[in-house]
Structure 1
Amino acid sequence: MKPELLIAAGLLALSLSACGGADKTPQQTEAAAKKIEGDHAEQGGEHGEGEEEKAESTVIRNEIARRSGISVAPAGPGTVADEHEVQGLITPLEGHVARITARYPGPVRSLRANVGDRVSAGQTLATIDSNLSLTTYSIAAPISGVVLARNASVGEVAVEGTALFEIADLSTLWVDLHVFGADASHLRPGLPVTVMRMGEDNGVDTTLDRILPGTATASQSTVARASIKNADGLWRPGSAVRARVTVEQQPVALAVPLTALQRMDDFEVVFVREGERYSARPVKLGRRDAKRVEVLSGLKAGEQVVVEQSFLIKADIEKAGASHEH
């Protein structure tokens, strides 16, 4: 079994497993490689019967392409965003954090909430024996939210004015983005923003609410503030985040998704489908953003470009080129 063929089959097996198939054993992967080889043999070889092999193209049956997740879309006009990538911190909204203190000094009789608990407005959090009235009184949550801190223990004396609990409504959070230098002059309220966790490429979309008038003292940065919904509670105050701020959308005559690009022989290429043949097409590229890139030459509007699983086409062409060399 040729190693290149085994790799290509492994990629195909991975694609198929994403559609609900079971994990493949090494024996099943090798069997899949033989199956692909047999399928291509039935169609007269990868490049057609009696046709000279070309290292820059390959033939893949439509059914095989469909099962592998290979999809195409016509090249055409699009937009490329002028984006600024920045970093920031998640913080609670002002007015959505409550500090609960003892009204009168005295020993804590009971505590009824722990850090991380969700509580409702009016829910009893603790009872305290008052040293002044010699009666027991209750402390209730003034807002609904999550307990962020509990600074009391049963039996300890609660001192008047000292915070026993801290509660925050985290259903909506602020994202404070730190922008440096001249980039700050391009920002304004209403611009689209995508907020992402560190190490992740997908995030949530929102807009800039405001540009704060002051400067962050420690970093000497301008702070741009956006808000995000947090119904599932997965965004946590104090977490560092990345964000892409879209300053402008620029129309271009021809664009393709970044997923269409591959690199072959030091050239960036896309793969154009004609019938069941996929050909590598070197392209000259212009502006790009996080999702798409402008094509300046090498491609025409309307041509069918592979936009998903383009790496499988690259692997198949490279495998055919290696076979031809031997």
Structure 2
Amino acid sequence: MKKNFPVRAAVAALIMSIPLVACLGGAEEAHEEGDGDDHADEEAAEGPNGGRLLKDGDFAVEVAIFENGEEPRFRVYPTRDGKPVDPKSVKLAITLTRLGGEVNRIVFVPQGKFLASQSVIEEPHSFDVEVVAAEGTRRHVWKYASPEGRTRINGEAARAGGIETAVAGPASIGETRELFGTVELDPSARSEIRGQFPGRVVSVTKKVGDYVTRGQLLARIESSESLQVYPVYASVSGVVAERNANPGDVTGDRALYVLTNPSATTVVFNIFPKDLGVVRPGMKVDVQTQDGKAVAQAVLGDYLPEGNKEAGTALVRASVPNRSGALRPGMALRGRLTVNAITVPLAVRTEAIQPFRNFKVVFANYGEDYEVRMLELGRSSSEWTEVLSGLKPGTPYVTKGSFLIRSDIEKSGASHDH
């Protein structure tokens, strides 16, 4: 049953669970004969082989999942009046409907004293079950729920608990390398403004630190040849970094003004010798502040001709626009990039993976229901982990807050008995 909790309540109080049961026990069942005799049992009975006992008059089947030392499969023991019935005289089929709508139809063959499923029963052993048995002219049908590793959390509680989801699919997985760099003005950000003809400076209009726009008047010069006064305009927009003229000065080799564009910044990264073989121009790098806050994603340029002799590193530049003005030349930044990357067909966020019993798991999400998925894992990085089996592509799963789901399931005391 769902419960509603105030958003401001503690996260632990917000999370609510459905009591879990053993894979084949603890839920109501309904069965019917060919003559239409339907009824429901309050509690599931356990058979002599530790499975769930389903009765219909004098006929019964005991359904168990056997997995001692082998892959899990159904074993079904038919009886009449408590005495074994020859499995060869019974035709049996089981249909499993899993969370998310997946349907497994299980076929059986006689094997000694029981009927054995031909297919392995994949984890989790959590499903709605329909058992159909035919012996002679009689047909028996039982239906029951067998949830495991499952909980239900309403949307309000999930949002308050910080639960987020994503869809499982392909991802690029590689090794993460960390770079260290310093902010510099882009070489293209510097412009020198000179007089067209030599002469005497009549007036100047801007001082160091002023922002000017392209076409704005910066100075007036009296030409030494024509004695005519001509204007000097800004050829670009930017900030005055240098002013090398005052009224009365004579123009020389130095620029009258040096303008810089503070939004055109780059980060020059140090590349240590151990990384020279894998860090290449054109790679994408996530630029961060020293405390890990994201700045931008940039692309590494070519290696610079000069290196950092003091540090013994090579240097590579990455353009990082400074539209907000937060970056300043000399500021230290970090970069993170992925090397030796390979694209895998199915992966999940590494932060989503949780330990559960003897498995590594994520939690599938359908509406307000969350259910464990046991995984076989492959390659891994700090961001992504490859999934080899246990999860189907396109499955929605919990990425953030997965530890809350695990805690909610574990506190319910779910077992894994068959």
- Is this a same-fold pair by TM over 0.5? yes
Tell me, yes or no, if the aligned pair for 2:171 and 2:345 is still in contact at 8 Å: yes
Alignment pair present for 1:47 and 2:47:
no
Could you tell me which of 269, 273, 278 is aligned with 1:177? 269
Are 1:123 and 2:95 matched, yes or no? no
Structure 1 residues 266, 121: CA separation in 2 closer, same or farther (over 3 Å shift)?
A: farther
| Whole-Å separation in 1 of the counterparts to 2:355 and 2:361 | 6
User: Which of 59-68 and 80-89 deviates more?
Assistant: 59-68
Q: Structure 1 residues 254-263 or 64-73, which shifts more?
A: 64-73
User: Displacement of 1:288 after TM fit?
Assistant: 3.2
By relative contact order (CA 8 Å, sep 6+), the higher-ranking structure is: 1
Counterpart of 1:218, as a letter, is: E
Alpha-carbon deviations, 1:96-136, whole Å to 9, x = none? 32467998899x98763452x4212453457899xxxxx99
- 1:214-233 Cα deviation digits (max 9, x unpaired): 32222111111222333333
Q: CA shift at 1:264, angstroms? A: 6.9
2:316 to 221, 224, 235: 224
Is residue 280 of structure 2 the alignment partner of residue 188 of structure 1? yes
Structure 1 residues 259, 126: closer, same or farther in 2, change over 3 A?
Answer: farther
Match among 206, 212, 231 for residue 298 of structure 2:
206
Q: Which residue in the other structure is 2:144 paired with? A: none
Rate the CA distance shift 1:160–1:207 in 2: closer, same or farther, 3 A: same
Partner of 2:46: none
The reply to whether residue 300 of structure 1 matches residue 394 of structure 2 is no
2:206 aligned residue (101, 112, 119): 112
What's the C-alpha RMSD, in Å, of the aligned pairs? 4.7
Question: Comparing both structures, which one devotes a greater share of its residues to helix?
Answer: 1
Change (3 A) 1:264 1:219: farther
Mapped to 2, the partners of 1:91 and 1:82 lie a distance apart of: 28
User: Which 10-residue stretch deviates more, 233-242 or 163-172?
Assistant: 163-172
1:59 counterpart letter in structure 2: R
User: 2 CA distance for matches of 1:181 and 1:32?
Assistant: 48
Tell me how far apart the structure 1 counterparts of residues 155 and 275 of structure 2 sit (CA, whole Å): 48
Which one-letter code corresponds to 1:194 in the other structure?
D
Alpha-carbon spacing, 1:234–1:290, altered in 2? closer, same or farther (3 Å): farther
Counterpart contact for 1:83–1:247, Cα < 8 Å: yes
Q: In structure 2, which of residues 242, 246, 259 is the aligned counterpart of residue 167 of structure 1?
A: 259
Letter in 2 for 1:300: L
User: CA, structure 1 residues 187+277, in 2 after alignment: closer, same or farther (shift >3 Å)?
Assistant: same
TM norm structure 2: 0.51
| Structure 1 residue 243 displacement after superposition | 1.5
Higher strand share: 2
Please list every run of 5 or more consecutive structure 1 residues that lacks an aligned counterpart in the other structure: 1-8, 14-28, 130-134, 322-326
Q: CA deviation at 1:262?
A: 4.2
1:92 alignment counterpart: 185
Could you tell which deviates more after superposition, 220-229 or 233-242?
233-242
Query: Quick check: which has more Rg, 1 or 2?
Result: 2
The residue number in structure 1 matching 2:237 is: 144
In the alignment, what sits opposite 1:21?
none
**Secondary structure at the residue paired with 2:343?**
strand
Q: What is the match of residue 215 of structure 1?
A: 307
AA partner of residue 231 (structure 1): R
Query: Contact conserved, 2:240 with 2:260, CA < 8 A, in 1?
Result: yes
How far the C-alpha of 1:180 sits from its partner, in A, is 0.4
| % identical aligned pairs | 33
- 8 Å Cα contact 1:215-1:221 kept in structure 2: yes
For 2:162 and 2:280, the matched residues in 1 are separated by: 41
Amino acid at match of 1:288: S
Kindly report which structure 2 residues correspond to 1:30-45, keeping only aligned pairs within 5 A, or say none. 30=9, 36=14, 40=16
Question: For residues 345 and 214 of structure 2, what CA distance do their matches in structure 1 show?
Answer: 56
| Shift of residue 188, structure 1, vs aligned partner | 2.8
| Cα distance between partner residues in 1 of 2:278 and 2:262 | 30
8 Å CA contact 2:182, 2:333 repeated in 1: yes
TM-score under structure 1 length normalisation: 0.63
CA distance in 2, matches of 1:180, 1:264: 40
Deviations 1:204-262 (A, max 9, x none): 22322211233222211111122233333333322221122343430224310234234
Looking at structure 2, the residues matched to 190 and 208 of structure 1 have their Cα atoms a distance apart, in angstroms, of 5
The residue number in structure 1 matching 2:174 is 81
* Contact kept in structure 2, 1:113 and 1:125, CA below 8 Å: no
**1:86 offset after TM fit, Å?**
0.7
Please list every run of 5 or more consecutive structure 2 residues that lacks an aligned counterpart in the other structure: 28-146, 223-227, 414-418
Residue 172 of structure 1 aligns with an amino acid whose one-letter code is: A
- Distance (Å, rounded) in 1 between the aligned partners of 2:153 and 2:340: 40
Does the CA contact (< 8 Å) of 1:83 and 1:248 recur in 2? no
Contact conserved, 2:18 with 2:150, CA < 8 A, in 1? no
